[in-house]
Copies of this chain bind each other. A is one copy, B any other.
Amino acid sequence: MTNVQLTQEQRELIERMGVFYEQHGIPPMEGRIMSLLIVCDEPELTFDQIRELLGISKSTTSSALNTLLITKRVIYRTKPGDRKRYFASNILQWQESFTENFQKFFEVIKIMKEALNQRTPKTPEFNRQMAEFIEFTEYISVEFPRIYLEWTKRNTQNNNK
Question: A2-22: which residues lie under 8 A (CB-CB) from chain B?
Answer: 9-10, 13, 16-17, 20
Q: How many copies of this chain are found per oligomer? A: 2
Give CA–CA (A103, B134) in the complex, Å.
21
Q: Would you call B123 and A39 a contact (CB within 8 A)?
A: no
Q: Would you call B17 and A115 a contact (CB within 8 A)?
A: yes
Q: Which residues of B contact A24 (CB under 8 A)?
A: 25
A145 CB, min distance to chain B CBs, angstroms: 12
Question: A126-155: which residues lie under 8 A (CB-CB) from chain B?
Answer: 126, 129-130, 132-133, 136, 139-140, 143, 147, 151, 155
- Contact flag A118-B9 (CB < 8 Å), given A129-B94, A136-B94, A139-B151: yes
**Subset of 16 A-B contacts with CB under 8 Å:** A10-B118, A13-B115, A16-B111, A25-B25, A39-B115, A39-B119, A41-B119, A41-B120, A41-B122, A43-B126, A91-B129, A92-B129, A132-B155, A139-B147, A139-B151, A143-B147
